[in-house]
Structure 1
Amino acid sequence: MSAFTFTPMSYADFKTFWPAFQQIVAAQETYAIEPDITRDDAYRLWFISPRTTFVVKDATGGILGTYYLKANAAGPGDHVCNCGYMVADAARGKGVARAMCEHSQQQARELGFCAMQFNAVVSTNDVAVALWQRLGFAIVGTVPGAYRHAQYGDVDTHVMYKAL
């Protein structure tokens, strides 16, 4: 993990990561985001709306991935946070998602959140489901057929939760 550097995402970082973002949502395998989302709408979604957004870079400054952190709900539900993680295709399998999840949990604690909840982890995303479970998240519910997967059709999503 020491080979990774986390910094708050800048607009320039977002523009650099935009092709990877497009590729991830266009695949329709993990994110319930319109596949043809515009860069401006994606920027608002990923960078403006959340409480904080980070990028993870390698030793050369190349962007490996990004995550956002925000309250999962408003008012009486704002003590539980939600995160979204994206890893560039070339960085998969290098521990980036694990590092982002660990970093986001620390950030969440520092921001006063008591728990983290993932609202819609696509059940066919076996790598992510297994990683989140290894990091202490439990599947607390499953929503049948809640995601239209590009390859498998309607698949389940999991709600995953961890007290911080």
Structure 2
Amino acid sequence: MNPAVRVRAYTDDDWAQVWPFFDEIVADGETYAYPEGLTSERARQLWVAPPPGATFVAVDGDADDVVLGTARSGPNRPGRGAHVATASFMVAPAARGRGVGRALGEHVLAWARGAGFLAMQFNAVVETNTAAVALWQSLGMRIVGTVPQAFDHPEHGYVGLHVMHRSL
């Protein structure tokens, strides 16, 4: 674990720092299929996971009020699919390369295991997001399939979305 990064539960006060990088990441169009032009309130409704899910923020280890990234997790599907978790992650562009994604990934995997989920499944990892794919693989996720041309990337055109999985 990186001592310069600490992960804690999200609070409503964190949104003021999450929203700017959420908006920037969605607008760049390279990793998320959220619609363009989301308002802050609609984005918050999409991102903040209701129970039994949870939302987290990664903060600077020396400054608990400096948000570096965020993650949300919860059941991948309702009912008979609720034993498998899913998660989504965003790291503020200015904080990339500092271990924020790894800290969030490790935290979410431990949270899901502790919450009784049997596995973690990521439904849509853009194949051109090679840093994320490598990170998730280093945390034990494996690509179980790729949906061809499922994501319209602004630079590369139609690219695949990986489905990634690991047992907990």
TM-score normalized by the length of structure 2? 0.94
Q: Does 1:3 align with 2:9?
A: no
Please state how far the C-alpha of 1:131 moved relative to its aligned partner.
1.0
The answer on whether the counterparts of 2:7 and 2:103 sit within 8 Å (CA) in structure 1 is no
Q: 2:153 maps to which residue?
A: 149
The answer on whether the counterparts of 1:27 and 1:35 sit within 8 Å (CA) in structure 2 is no
SS at match of 1:143: strand
In structure 2, the CA distance between the partners of 1:60 and 1:21, relative to structure 1 (3 Å rule), is: same
Q: What percent identity do the matched residue pairs reach?
A: 48
SS at match of 2:165: strand
Structure 2 gaps, min length 5: none
The answer on whether the counterparts of 2:5 and 2:99 sit within 8 Å (CA) in structure 1 is no
Aligned length: 164
Q: 1:60 maps to which residue?
A: 63
Deviations 1:119-141 (A, max 9, x none): 00000001111111111111001
Q: For the residues of structure 1 that align with 2:10 and 2:147, how far apart are their CA atoms?
A: 32
Structure 1 gaps, min length 5: none
Please state how far the C-alpha of 1:12 moved relative to its aligned partner.
1.4
Q: 2:93 maps to which residue?
A: 89
Q: 1:25 maps to which residue?
A: 26
Q: How does 1:1-164 map to 2 (within 5 A)?
A: 1-49=2-50, 51-58=53-60, 59-61=62-64, 62-164=66-168
Please state how far the C-alpha of 1:36 moved relative to its aligned partner.
1.2
SS at match of 1:142: strand
Deviations 1:83-112 (A, max 9, x none): 000000111011110111000001001111
In structure 2, the CA distance between the partners of 1:120 and 1:89, relative to structure 1 (3 Å rule), is: same
Q: For the residues of structure 1 that align with 2:114 and 2:103, how far apart are their CA atoms?
A: 17
Letter of the 1:147 partner, please give it: F
Supply the RMSD in Å over aligned alpha carbons.
Answer: 1.1
Following TM superposition, where does structure 1 have runs of at least 4 consecutive aligned residues deviating by more than 2 angstroms? none
Deviations 1:51-85 (A, max 9, x none): 10000100123111000011000111100000000
Q: For the residues of structure 1 that align with 2:48 and 2:118, how far apart are their CA atoms?
A: 22
Please state how far the C-alpha of 1:35 moved relative to its aligned partner.
2.2
SS at match of 1:35: coil
Q: For the residues of structure 2 that align with 1:121 and 1:104, how far apart are their CA atoms?
A: 16
Please state how far the C-alpha of 1:6 moved relative to its aligned partner.
1.7
